[in-house]
Structure 1
Amino acid sequence: MKVSVIIPVYNAEKFVSHAVESALQFEEVDEVILIEDQSPDNALQVCQQLAEKHERVKLYQHPDKRNHGASSSRNLGIEKATGDFIAFLDADDYYLPNRFDAEKELFKNPKVEGVYGALGVHYYSEKAKEQYYRIFRDKLTTVYKKHPPKDLFFGQLHMLGTFGLFSIDTLTLRREPLMKKMEVLFKSHLRLHEDTEFLFRLSYYLDLYPGSIDKAVAIRGVHEHNRITKVDTRVIDPAISRALLWNEIYQWAQAEDTVPEKAVTHIRRMHRSFEIAKAPRLKKWGMVAKYLVTDYRSIRSGLYNINFKRSLIS
């Protein structure tokens, strides 16, 4: 295996060295690609030092050296990658020593186009834990049971609460089918949930297999400046961001002729539910009652409960 690990870097001077070192521990990692995205801190200088210190670390910026967001940064990283396999890592997260154990065995089968695993959580400070433990707790972000690839897209779509989710930090992909089957990679106009939208489409087009799903292979680093914290503290309204996400998925499902109508209908209802969450409170509750009647099954999903209900009671 020759793995290219892509790390978008923004405002992460305190964390990116740990992320890079966690990737360099593996002989399977042929290169670590840092995409510095006009950070307001000293992240660029830290990245330059890492690239000078480690032969396998490669540093890039966008051609205009301006900020373009995580989606464009990951796309640039994929463009620059030379490995047969692509893996991702956020600059404030890190890999564990077992990160590629399952992958080394599973990718011996040429039919395996991607492998995903479980993500743990680490709180960088007591303040971060106090504020965000109710969101992440100490639970794994994972798909709870091993499923065949054909069930992954529909399982995430219809049974998020009981099916589970996987994170981009735990994903490893064959480069060739990724480039062949995904006409659009990460959507640059999305500044939040761009990885979630990508993973939905990816699980539809590629055959993704479970690796280590009951033991973490990577760690989400939680601190006061995560993008998720901006949503939670209402710098960004969660209902609006989720409505944009599901609208994007709905537009894709409508345009993709092979997506079953049943799935398109469900996606439309999820989009509608988050649109309702943006409405004034009285109208909100009336529409929620209607939605309970029309689509009770999907309102039980974990994604709906965690995000939609939170926006209602705020």
Structure 2
Amino acid sequence: MDFSIVIPIYNSASYLEKNLARIFHVCSGFDYQVILVDDCSAEQDIARIRQLVAACRQLTLHEKTQKSNAAVSRNIGVRLAEAEIVFFLDSDDYFTTHYIMRRLQRHEDQSIDIIFGNYAEVYGDSVRDFAFNYKNGSAGEDFLFLEMGDIRSSTISIRKKRGRRFLFPEFLYKHQDWGFLVNATNQGANVAYDTGSGVFLDIGRGGRMTTKLNLEASEQFIEAFLRPSDRHISGFACKHLLVSLYSENQSAFIYYSSRIVRHTLSSKFKAIKRYGDFMARLGLFPLGGRLLRTARNGFRR
């Protein structure tokens, strides 16, 4: 088998069918399997998924008996994967044939444990590309929170090896991809970066975990991965300033702003922090968020 694709699902039937059609198209000619791991979806939803699985030999469905999170689902998928090369994909994301072929070629180097890379965010008819520069051997926390890089689960592919398992941290309900990278580099994984394109993340659907702020989850991540490094915590907090503004969440902005070490701020984050602090002092924080959101949506058109 050439590869396995692991997709966590939860009440995903309404859009999963379209994305599975995309997967079948781009994977034509390969020997592959798609492992759907369901996190206790509603009965009507999972009934539709069962129908899809019954109609396609490439699909496998694992139904969890207890609700948990996507990290648990991904780790179950890795254990079930029949192929050595495993791709991860969220249920509303997709990739291209060119991406798969490029990754398989990179994975021919059996010393590489993990590959992640660039992606594009899709919002309606708008597509925005994101590219970073991860250097082999870099610590995950340095790349993410000092160099302000990023990793998304749908860009990750791994090679399964006996005695070496790089899994998603199951205790996290948010920031699981960040935790995956930090864990992997701390454990000595050989991590490579794919500078090519071909992964598309649909950010237009409401309910995506990456669009939601969760201060408890942030504290949990900081406690587990970043203490006692103020510089890493500061970088982590900076990544949430704009989201706090866009969502008009003043309490979240105040929290993340309080974790920032001022002398480490770039000019970009200094401007964001000053803007948010100024609007909060005027009692106009929600208006400030709406103005930024309007400007962002204008650029997307």
Instruction: Pick the TM interval, shorter chain.
Output: 0.7 to 0.9
Deviation at 1:270, TM superposition (A): 5.3
Alpha-carbon distance in 2 for matches of 1:70, 1:301 = 35
Alpha-carbon distance in 2 for matches of 1:123, 1:189 = 30
Q: TM-score, normalised by structure 2?
A: 0.73
Checking the alignment, whether the CA contact within 8 Å between 1:158 and 1:301 is kept in structure 2 is no
Q: Percent identity?
A: 16
Aligned position for 1:165: 150
Alpha-carbon distance in 2 for matches of 1:169, 1:30 = 17
Alignment of 1:135-214 (within 5 A): 138-143=127-132, 145=133, 147-151=134-138, 153=140, 154-160=142-148, 164-176=149-161, 180=164, 182=166, 185-204=167-186, 205-213=188-196
Deviation at 1:60, TM superposition (A): 0.6
Deviation at 1:284, TM superposition (A): 6.5
Greater Cα offset, 188-197 or 301-310: 301-310
CA 302–117 in structure 1, closer or farther in 2 if over 3 Å, else same: farther
Superposition RMSD on alpha carbons, in Å? Answer: 3.9
Deviation at 1:121, TM superposition (A): 2.1
Checking the alignment, whether the CA contact within 8 Å between 1:119 and 1:220 is kept in structure 2 is no
Alignment of 1:21-100 (within 5 A): 21-24=21-24, 25-26=26-27, 27-28=29-30, 30-40=32-42, 42-62=44-64, 65-100=65-100
**SS state of the match for residue 138, structure 2?**
helix
Letter in 2 for 1:38: C
Checking the alignment, whether the CA contact within 8 Å between 1:6 and 1:74 is kept in structure 2 is yes
**Structure 1: tracts of 5 or more residues without a match:** 130-136, 232-236, 255-263
Aligned position for 2:289: none
Deviation at 1:17, TM superposition (A): 1.6
Deviation at 1:286, TM superposition (A): 9.7
**SS state of the match for residue 18, structure 1?**
helix
Aligned position for 1:300: 266
Deviations along 1:143-199, one digit per CA (max 9) or x if unpaired, are 1x3x43113633323110xxx32321111111117x6153xx222232222222112
Deviations along 1:198-234, one digit per CA (max 9) or x if unpaired, are 1222244322222244x333333421232334x2xxx
**Structure 2: tracts of 5 or more residues without a match:** 287-301
CA 49–10 in structure 1, closer or farther in 2 if over 3 Å, else same: same
Alpha-carbon distance in 1 for matches of 2:31, 2:15 = 19
CA 302–28 in structure 1, closer or farther in 2 if over 3 Å, else same: farther
Checking the alignment, whether the CA contact within 8 Å between 1:120 and 1:217 is kept in structure 2 is yes
Aligned position for 1:101: 101
Alpha-carbon distance in 1 for matches of 2:267, 2:43 = 39
CA 181–309 in structure 1, closer or farther in 2 if over 3 Å, else same: farther
Letter in 1 for 2:218: R
Deviation at 1:34, TM superposition (A): 0.4
Checking the alignment, whether the CA contact within 8 Å between 1:118 and 1:217 is kept in structure 2 is yes
Aligned position for 1:116: 116
**SS state of the match for residue 108, structure 2?**
coil
CA 96–272 in structure 1, closer or farther in 2 if over 3 Å, else same: closer
Deviation at 1:89, TM superposition (A): 0.7
CA 190–139 in structure 1, closer or farther in 2 if over 3 Å, else same: same
Match of 2:207 among 188, 212, 225: 225
Deviation at 1:116, TM superposition (A): 1.9
Stretches of 4+ aligned residues off by more than 4 angstroms: 268-274, 277-281, 283-288, 301-314
Aligned position for 1:291: 261
Letter in 1 for 2:224: E
Aligned position for 2:222: 246
Letter in 2 for 1:9: I
Aligned position for 1:132: none
Checking the alignment, whether the CA contact within 8 Å between 2:115 and 2:156 is kept in structure 1 is yes
CA 304–155 in structure 1, closer or farther in 2 if over 3 Å, else same: farther
Alpha-carbon distance in 2 for matches of 1:207, 1:301 = 33
CA 43–206 in structure 1, closer or farther in 2 if over 3 Å, else same: farther
Deviation at 1:8, TM superposition (A): 0.7
Letter in 1 for 2:135: P
Deviations along 1:39-79, one digit per CA (max 9) or x if unpaired, are 137331222122111111100112xx232111111111112
**SS state of the match for residue 266, structure 1?**
helix
**SS state of the match for residue 7, structure 1?**
strand
